[in-house]
C-alpha cells in the first residue's frame, strides 16, 4: 500500500497530454511526396536516394516521438504528480494507528544530553498531533504491566494520558512480538488506512528471532501469549506502512551489572558462600568499576577499583559466611553513577532457613565402619560437619515402622539395602512420592530381586550378577544435563575413578520413562531416576557399600548425595530468581485444602494475597506481578504445612548488550514498507511523505528540460547540410550527371545519345 502508485494534486492538467497530437499533426501536414518521373538512365541514382530517404524517415520518427514525449511529460509535471503513501489526506478516509513505545531498560540510558525514553515520549506525542478526529489510535508497550485496555481509541486524550503514564520496565523488549500484536489490533479495525509507529532505540537484543529469550511472549508484559507457531499461522495481509523512529544517538558511557551467581554446595549457617558479580563495560572508552556487597542492608565488602576496556566483562568475587538461619536479602551494586542507573544493582536471595529434613531408613543402622555399612557412609555424607548447624537434618527410621511414619515431613527418604518391604510399606512410599517426595533406593546384598516387583517404586527388573562373572568396572558416564550433576561432570576424573566390583543389573521396558544419570563402562546403568506423580525415585544399582564400590570413598560421593537431595528440596522452596514480567507458579503438596499465600512486594509496595487452586494432588498459586526489582517474600497462611519462600527480580541481563541495528538491518527485517525517522524534523517529513507521498513535479520538469535539449540536438543534426567542397575543386553539376548517365546508356546498348 505504501509507495505503490502515482497520484496528482491537479489532475485537470492531465488534459494537456492531448496536446501530444500537435507534433503528429504538424508532421503529417509537412510531409511532401515528390512526383514520379520515369528516367531510365537515372536508376542507380534512384537507389541511392531511396536509401537516404529511409534513414531520414527513421530520424523523423524518433524526432516526432521525442517532441510528443516532451509535451506529455510537461503536462504530467504541471499536474503535480507524487508517489502515494497513504491516500487518507486526500480522500478523507479514516486511519487506524498503533504506536509501539519501547520501554525496555536500555531506554533509560542517557545519550545526547537526554534520556532516551523521554525523547521517545516526546516523539510519541508528536505523532498524536497528526491524528484527526475520525482516526483510531492505540498504544502498546514492549514490556512491564499491561495497560488499562490495549485497544484502539477514538479520543486522542486517552492515548496521550497513557503515554504520560508509561514508565521504563525491567524486562527486555521483543519487537517482533510487539509488531505482531499491533497487526492483530489493526486487523480488528474497519478503517481503510492503517499505520504503525515504532519508537525504539534499535537495540539488537530487542529483535530476538525467537521472540522468547528473556522477554514475555506478549508485549503487554505478561506471559502466556501466542507462541511462534500461532503467530506464523496468522493470516498475512498486505504490508502495513511502518514508521520506525530511532531515539538512539550515541553509545552511552554505561557500566552494567550483568549477573550475580552464588557458588555454594550447601546453603548452610557457617559455610562460606562464594558470590560472583559480572560487570560489563558498554562504553567506547575505558571505565573504572567498583562493586560492593550488602546483606540485609548491611555493607559486607567493597571490591577494589578495576579499569575495564571497551566491551570488556570482568568478574568480581566475594566470600560471605552466613551467621544466622533464614532468608537473607543480598544486593550487589556498582559504586558511582553512569548513564543508566537501572542496571547498576542486582538482588539475590540467600536461603539458609530451616534445614532440609531427610529420613535414613536402614535396618542395620549403628554398625561401625569395619562392617562397611552403606548407612554409615551415607549418614556422614549427609552430616559433613560434626558441630554447628547444617543444611540437612537426618532422622534414622526403622523400616518396620515406616508405614506409620508421617513421611510428608521429610523432603527426601533414603532406603538403604532393605529387605523388600511389605505391601503396606510400599503403598506408604508410593503415596509419599506421588505427593512430591523424593525417594532414594540404594541397592545392596539384602535386596531380593524376586520380591522386588509389582510396585512403582522399583525402576524395573533387578537381578544379581553371577558370582563367577568377571569383576571390575568403572563409571564411564554422568549426565551433564541434570541440574544437580552439572558441577560434578568437570573434570571427568571425578566420576571416572569410581570402581565397581558388584552391582544389581537393572532392565526396564522401552516404554517406561527411566532416565540414566550414571552408567558403567559395560553399558549397564549405575544411577537412574523415574517419576511417580509429582515425585522422583532415584535408584543406585551399585549401592554404597565399600565391598561393592569405591563410590563412598571417592571425593564425588558427598557432593553427589548432597546435591541430589538439595535439588529435590529446591523444588519445594521455589525459584530464587525470576525474570521480570514472568509468571511464578507455586505448587504445594500434602495440602488437602486451599492455601492462602501472602506475597510481600519489594520496598513499600504492599502485599498481595492469593488463594490456591486444586490441581489434583497439589495446590497451585500463580503470581504475575513481577515488574518491580527487589526481593519478594512468600508466606503460606492457613496451611497444614506452612513454609516461607523468597525470590528476586532483576533487570533483564540481555539489556547490557549495547549493540544496535542499522537502518539497513531494520529494512531487511521489516521489508520495504518501512520509513525511518530520527528526530522531530525527520519525523514530520516522514509523516508528510507517508500521508502526502513523495512529490515528483521537479523530476518531471527536469525531464522536460532534458527532452528539449535532446530535441534541439537531434533536429540540428538532421538539418545539417553537407559541407561545401574545398576551393579549387570542381563541383559536380547536373550536366556531369547527365553525361555519366549517357555513357552508361551506350555501354548497355540502348542506342542513341541523349
**β-strand 193-200 against 242-246: which pairing, if any?**
parallel
Top pLDDT among 74 and 479 is at: 479
Three cell numbers at 341? 542507573
Task: Calculate mean pLDDT across residues 603-619.
Answer: 86
For residue 359, give the H/E element and its range.
strand 356-361
pLDDT at 211: 40
- Confidence grade of residue 516 (pLDDT, cut at 50, 70, 90): very high
Buried b (16+ CB within 10 A) or exposed e, 217-239: bbbbbbbebbeeeebeeeeeeee
pLDDT at 633: 94
Q: How many angstroms separate the CA atoms of 680 and 649, rounded?
A: 36
Top pLDDT among 727 and 254 is at: 254
CA-based nearest residue to 750, from 137, 224, 39: 39
- Confidence grade of residue 573 (pLDDT, cut at 50, 70, 90): low
Which segments of 132-241 are extended strands (E)? Answer: 136-141, 193-200
Three cell numbers at 415? 532406603
CATH fold for domain 356-563: Rossmann fold (3.40.50)
Q: How many angstroms separate the CA atoms of 398 and 385, rounded?
A: 24
| Four-residue CA torsion sign, 207, 209, 214, 215 | positive
The per-residue pLDDT for range 89-122, each reduced to its tens digit, is 444 568 899 999 999 999 999 988 899 999 999 9
Rama region for 638: left / alpha / beta (φ>0; ψ in -120 to 50; rest): left
Asked if residue 517 has pLDDT above 70, the reply is yes
Asked if residue 331 has pLDDT above 60, the reply is yes
Q: What is the dihedral of CA 479, 483, 487, 490, to 10 degrees?
A: 30
Task: Calculate mean pLDDT across residues 133-145.
Answer: 90
- The vertex-371 CA angle with 368 and 374, nearest 5°, equals 85
136-140, 174-178, 259-263, 398-402: which has the minimum mean pLDDT?
A: 398-402
Asked if residue 228 has pLDDT above 80, the reply is no
- Confidence grade of residue 1 (pLDDT, cut at 50, 70, 90): very low
CA-based nearest residue to 602, from 574, 628, 575, 576: 628
Asked if residue 610 has pLDDT above 60, the reply is yes
**β-strand 515-520 against 525-532: which pairing, if any?**
antiparallel
**% of the chain beyond a pLDDT of 70:** 80
Task: Please tell me what DSSP assigns to residue 242.
Answer: E
Task: Please tell me what DSSP assigns to residue 344.
Answer: S
- Confidence grade of residue 455 (pLDDT, cut at 50, 70, 90): very high
88-251+658-692 and 356-563 in the same fold? yes
Task: Please tell me what DSSP assigns to residue 203.
Answer: B
Neighbours of 602 (CB within 10 A): 15
Q: How many angstroms separate the CA atoms of 110 and 26, rounded?
A: 70
| Domains of the chain by residue range | 5-85+697-744, 88-251+658-692, 255-353, 356-563, 577-649
- Confidence grade of residue 13 (pLDDT, cut at 50, 70, 90): confident
For residue 691, give the H/E element and its range.
helix 680-692
pLDDT at 82: 66
Evaluate whether the domain defined by 255-353 bears CATH number 2.60.40.10: yes
Task: Calculate mean pLDDT across residues 737-754.
Answer: 50
| Coil vs helix vs strand at 501 | coil
Three cell numbers at 235? 493470516
Residues 6 or more apart from 372 whose CB is under 8 A from it? 545, 546, 547
Asked if residue 651 has pLDDT above 70, the reply is yes
- For the beta sheet containing 313-320, the strands, ordered from the edge strand earlier in sequence to the opposite edge, are 255-263, 273-281, 313-320
Q: How many angstroms separate the CA atoms of 445 and 130, rounded?
A: 84
CA-based nearest residue to 591, from 641, 635, 637: 641
The per-residue pLDDT for range 332-363, each reduced to its tens digit, is 999 998 888 899 999 999 988 667 889 999 87
C-alpha distances out from residue 359 to 182, 263, 371, Å: 56, 26, 22
pLDDT at 375: 82
CA-based nearest residue to 150, from 142, 138, 160: 138
Q: How many angstroms separate the CA atoms of 155 and 173, rounded?
A: 27
Q: How many angstroms separate the CA atoms of 526 and 529, rounded?
A: 10
Residues linked to residue 519 through DSSP beta bridges, in sequence order: 477, 525
Top pLDDT among 60 and 510 is at: 510
Q: How many angstroms separate the CA atoms of 360 and 365, rounded?
A: 9
**Top-ranked range on mean pLDDT: pick from 217-226, 552-561, 744-753:** 552-561
pLDDT at 726: 53
pLDDT at 386: 65
pLDDT at 482: 92
pLDDT at 710: 79
Three cell numbers at 609? 494475597
Asked if residue 750 has pLDDT above 50, the reply is no
350-354, 445-449, 561-565, 683-687: which has the minimum mean pLDDT?
A: 350-354
The per-residue pLDDT for range 628-644, each reduced to its tens digit, is 999 999 998 878 778 88
Asked if residue 3 has pLDDT above 50, the reply is no
pLDDT at 288: 95
CATH fold for domain 88-251+658-692: Rossmann fold (3.40.50)
Q: Give a three-class secondary structure readout of 616-660.
A: CCEEEEEECCCCCCEEEEEEEECCCCCCEEEEEECCCHHHHCCCE
Asked if residue 4 has pLDDT above 50, the reply is no
Task: Please tell me what DSSP assigns to residue 549.
Answer: B
Q: Are 375 and 364 in contact (CB under 8 A)?
A: yes
Top pLDDT among 483 and 738 is at: 483
Q: Give a three-class secondary structure readout of 418-457.
A: CCCCCHHHHHHHHHHHHCCCEEEEECCCCCCHHHCCCCCC
- Confidence grade of residue 212 (pLDDT, cut at 50, 70, 90): very low
Task: Please tell me what DSSP assigns to residue 402.
Answer: G
Q: Are 359 and 397 in contact (CB under 8 A)?
A: yes
Question: What is the CA 304 to chain-centroid distance, rounded?
Answer: 35
Q: Are 630 and 648 in contact (CB under 8 A)?
A: yes
**Top-ranked range on mean pLDDT: pick from 47-61, 165-179, 678-692:** 165-179
Q: What is the DSSP string of 146-165?
A: PPS--S-BS-HHHHHHHHHH
Q: Which residue has the cell 560421593?
A: 557
The architecture CATH gives domain 577-649: Sandwich (2.60)
Helices and strands (H and E) in the chain: how many: 15, 38
Task: Calculate mean pLDDT across residues 685-696.
Answer: 72
Instruction: Output the average pLDDT for the chain.
Output: 82
Top pLDDT among 166 and 732 is at: 166
Residues 6 or more apart from 513 whose CB is under 8 A from it? 530, 531
172-181, 279-288, 468-477, 711-720: which has the minimum mean pLDDT?
A: 711-720
Q: Are 534 and 618 in contact (CB under 8 A)?
A: yes
Q: How many angstroms separate the CA atoms of 301 and 131, rounded?
A: 55
Q: Which residue has the cell 518531471?
A: 700
pLDDT at 353: 64
Top pLDDT among 707 and 7 is at: 707
40-54, 182-196, 406-420: which has the minimum mean pLDDT?
A: 40-54
3-17, 376-390, 394-408, 455-469: which has the minimum mean pLDDT?
A: 3-17
Buried b (16+ CB within 10 A) or exposed e, 274-310: ebebbbbbbbeeebebbbbbbbeeeebeebeeeebee
Burial of 164 (0-12, 13-18, 19+ CB in 10 A): exposed
What count of Cα atoms within 13 Å lies in the side-chain half-sphere of residue 314?
21
pLDDT at 326: 84
Q: Which residue has the cell 494537456?
A: 16
pLDDT at 536: 94
| Coil vs helix vs strand at 184 | helix
**Top-ranked range on mean pLDDT: pick from 39-48, 217-226, 308-317:** 308-317
Asked if residue 681 has pLDDT above 70, the reply is yes
The per-residue pLDDT for range 233-289, each reduced to its tens digit, is 444 456 788 999 999 999 999 999 999 999 876 677 777 899 999 999 999 999 999
Amino acid at each position: 500500500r505504501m509507495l505503490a502508485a502515482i497520484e496528482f494534486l491537479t489532475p485537470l492538467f492531465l488534459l494537456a497530454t492531448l496536446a501530444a497530437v500537435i507534433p503528429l499533426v504538424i508532421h503529417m501536414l509537412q510531409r511532401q511526396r515528390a512526383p514520379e518521373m520515369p528516367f531510365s538512365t537515372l536508376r542507380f541514382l534512384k537507389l541511392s536516394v531511396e536509401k537516404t530517404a529511409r534513414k531520414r524517415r527513421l530520424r523523423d520518427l524518433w524526432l516526432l516521438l521525442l517532441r510528443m514525449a516532451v509535451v506529455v511529460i510537461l503536462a504530467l509535471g504541471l499536474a503535480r504528480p507524487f508517489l502515494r503513501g497513504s491516500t487518507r489526506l486526500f480522500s478523507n478516509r479514516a486511519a487506524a494507528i498503533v504506536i509501539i513505545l519501547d520501554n525496555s531498560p536500555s531506554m533509560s540510558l542517557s545519550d545526547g544530553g537526554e534520556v532516551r525514553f523521554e525523547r521517545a515520549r516526546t516523539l510519541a506525542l508528536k505523532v498524536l498531533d497528526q491524528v484527526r478526529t475520525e482516526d483510531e489510535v492505540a498504544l502498546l508497550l514492549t514490556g512491564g504491566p499491561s495497560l488499562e485496555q490495549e485497544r484502539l481509541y477514538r479520543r486522542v486524550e486517552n492515548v496521550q494520558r497513557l503515554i504520560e503514564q508509561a514508565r521504563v520496565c525491567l524486562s527486555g523488549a521483543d519487537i517482533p512480538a510487539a509488531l505482531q500484536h499491533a497487526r492483530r489490533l489493526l486487523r480488528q479495525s474497519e478503517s481503510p488506512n492503517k499505520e504503525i509507529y515504532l519508537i525504539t532505540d534499535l537495540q539488537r537484543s530487542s529483535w530476538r528471532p525467537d521472540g522468547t529469550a528473556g522477554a514475555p511472549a506478549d508485549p503487554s508484559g505478561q506471559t502466556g501469549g501466542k507462541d511462534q507457531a500461532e503467530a506464523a499461522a496468522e493470516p498475512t495481509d498486505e504490508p502495513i506502512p511502518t514508521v520506525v523512529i530511532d531515539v538512539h544517538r550515541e553509545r552511552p558511557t554505561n557500566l552494567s551489572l550483568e549477573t550475580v551467581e552464588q557458588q555454594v554446595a550447601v546453603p548452610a549457617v557457617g559455610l562460606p558462600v562464594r558470590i560472583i558479580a559480572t560487570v560489563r563495560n558498554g562504553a567506547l572508552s575505558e571505565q573504572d568499576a567498583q562493586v560492593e556487597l550488602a546483606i540485609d542492608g548491611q555493607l559486607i565488602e567493597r571490591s577494589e577499583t578495576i579499569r575495564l576496556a571497551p566491551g570488556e566483562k570482568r568478574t568480581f568475587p566475594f566470600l560471605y559466611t552466613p551467621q544466622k538461619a533464614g532468608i537473607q536479602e543480598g544486593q550487589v551494586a556498582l559504586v558511582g553513577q553512569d548513564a543508566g542507573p537501572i542496571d547498576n544493582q542486582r538482588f539475590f536471595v540467600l536461603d539458609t532457613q530451616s534445614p532440609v529434613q531427610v529420613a535414613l531408613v536402614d535396618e542395620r543402622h549403628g554398625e561401625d565402619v569395619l562392617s562397611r555399612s552403606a548407612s554409615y557412609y551415607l549418614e556422614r555424607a549427609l552430616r559433613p560437619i560434626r558441630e554447628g548447624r547444617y543444611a540437612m537434618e537426618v532422622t534414622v527410621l526403622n523400616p518396620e515402622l515406616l508405614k506409620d511414619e508421617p513421611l510428608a515431613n521429610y523432603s527426601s527418604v533414603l532406603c538403604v539395602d532393605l529387605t523388600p518391604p511389605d505391601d503396606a510399606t510400599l503403598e506408604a512410599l508410593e503415596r509419599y512420592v506421588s505427593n512430591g517426595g523424593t525417594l532414594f533406593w540404594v541397592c545392596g546384598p539384602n535386596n531380593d530381586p524376586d520380591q522386588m516387583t509389582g510396585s512403582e517404586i522399583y525402576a524395573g527388573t533387578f537381578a544379581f550378577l553371577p558370582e563367577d562373572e568377571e569383576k571390575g568396572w568403572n563409571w564411564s558416564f554422568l549426565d551433564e544435563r541434570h541440574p544437580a550433576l552439572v558441577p560434578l561432570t568437570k573434570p571427568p576424573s571425578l566420576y571416572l575413578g569410581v570402581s565397581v566390583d558388584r552391582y544389581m543389573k537393572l532392565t526396564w521396558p522401552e516404554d517406561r520413562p527411566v532416565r540414566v544419570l550414571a552408567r558403567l563402562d559395560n553399558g549397564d546403568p549405575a544411577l537412574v531416576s523415574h517419576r511417580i506423580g509429582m515425585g522422583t525415585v532415584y535408584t543406585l544399582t551399585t549401592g554404597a557399600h565399600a565391598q561393592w564400590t569405591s563410590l563412598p570413598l571417592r571425593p564425588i560421593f558427598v557432593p553427589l548425595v548432597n546435591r541430589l537431595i538439595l535439588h529435590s528440596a529446591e523444588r519445594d522452596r521455589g525459584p530464587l530468581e525470576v525474570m521480570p514480567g514472568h509468571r511464578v507458579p507455586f505448587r504445594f503438596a500434602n495440602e488437602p485444602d486451599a492455601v492462602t499465600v501472602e506475597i510481600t512486594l519489594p520496598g513499600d509496595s504492599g502485599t498481595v494475597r492469593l488463594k490456591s487452586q486444586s490441581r489434583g494432588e497439589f495446590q497451585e498459586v500463580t503470581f504475575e506481578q513481577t515488574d518491580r526489582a527487589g526481593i519478594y517474600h512468600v508466606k503460606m497462611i492457613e496451611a497444614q504445612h506452612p513454609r516461607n519462600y523468597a525470590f528476586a527480580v532483576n533487570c533483564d541481563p540481555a539489556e547490557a548488550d549495547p549493540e544496535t541495528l542499522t537502518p539497513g538491518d531494520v529494512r531487511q527485517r521489516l521489508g520495504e514498507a518501512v520509513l525511518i525517522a530520527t528526530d522531530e524534523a525527520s519525523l514530520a517529513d516522514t509523516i508528510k511523505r507517508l500521508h502526502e507521498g513523495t512529490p515528483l513535479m521537479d523530476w518531471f520538469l527536469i525531464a522536460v528540460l532534458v527532452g528539449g535539449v535532446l530535441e534541439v540536438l537531434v533536429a540540428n543534426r538532421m538539418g545539417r547540410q553537407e559541407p561545401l567542397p574545398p576551393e579549387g575543386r570542381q563541383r559536380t553539376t547536373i550536366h556531369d550527371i547527365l553525361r555519366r548517365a549517357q555513357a552508361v546508356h551506350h555501354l548497355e546498348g540502348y542506342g542513341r545519345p541523349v
